Chain A
Amino acid sequence: MTDPWGDLQELWHRDAPDAPKLVRQVRRLERTRLWSRLLRLGVVALGLSGLAAAVAHSVTLVEAGAALVIATTIVAYFGWVTRDEARHYEMLSRDSTSYLRSRQVQLKSELRTITFTWVIIGVELSFFVPWLIDGIPLHFGSFWSPAVVFAWWIPLLGMALLLAITVRAAIRRRRELDQVNGLLVKEDLVP
Chain B
Amino acid sequence: MTDADRTLASFDAVIEAHGAAISRYAWAFVDNGDDHADLMQDLLVALWRSLPRFRGESSLKTFVYRVVHNRALSFAARSRRHAGTALTEELPDRKPGPEARVEADLCRARLLRAIRRLEPGLRQAVLLHLEGTSTEDIAHIQGITGNNAAVRLTRGRQALRSAMEER
The chain A residues found within 8 Å of chain B, CB to CB, are 4-5, 8-9, 11-17, 19, 22-23, 25-26, 29-30, 33, 89-100, 103, 172, 175-176, 179-180, 182-183, 186-187, 190-191
Contacts and interface: CB of A to CB of B under 8 A. Distances in A.
Nearest to A19: B19
A174 to B, nearest CB: 11
A9 B157 CA distance: 12
A97 B111 CA distance: 26
Nearest to A15: B24
A15 B27 contact: yes
Contact of B121 (A90, A94, A172, A190): A190
Contacts of B108: 11-12, 14-15
A165 B67 CA distance: 29
Contacts of B67: 92-93
Given A11-B107, A14-B108, A92-B50, A26 B15 contact: yes
A31 to B, nearest CB: 11
A18 to B, nearest CB: 8
Main secondary structure of the interface of A (DSSP, over half): helix
B87 A183 contact: yes
Interface of B: 11-12, 15-16, 19-20, 22-24, 27, 40-41, 44-50, 53-54, 58, 63, 66-67, 69-71, 73-74, 76-78, 80, 83, 86-88, 98, 102, 105, 107-108, 111, 119-122, 124, 130-132, 141-144, 148, 151-152, 157, 160-161, 164
Contacts of B130: 8-9, 12-13
Contact of A17 (B23, B131, B161): B23
Nearest to B24: A15
18 contacts: A8-B111, A11-B105, A12-B131, A15-B108, A19-B20, A26-B48, A92-B70, A96-B120, A96-B143, A97-B143, A176-B78, A183-B73, A186-B119, A190-B121, A191-B144, A191-B148, A191-B151, A191-B152
Contacts of B142: 95-96
A22 B44 contact: yes
A22 B15 contact: yes
Nearest to A95: B143
Given A25-B44, A93-B50, A183 B77 contact: yes
A180 B24 CA distance: 23
A22 B43 CA distance: 11
Contact of B119 (A11, A15, A25, A190): A190
A11 B66 CA distance: 23
Nearest to B37: A25
Contacts of B143: 94-98
Contacts of A17: 19-20, 23
Contact of A190 (B47, B48, B83, B152): B152
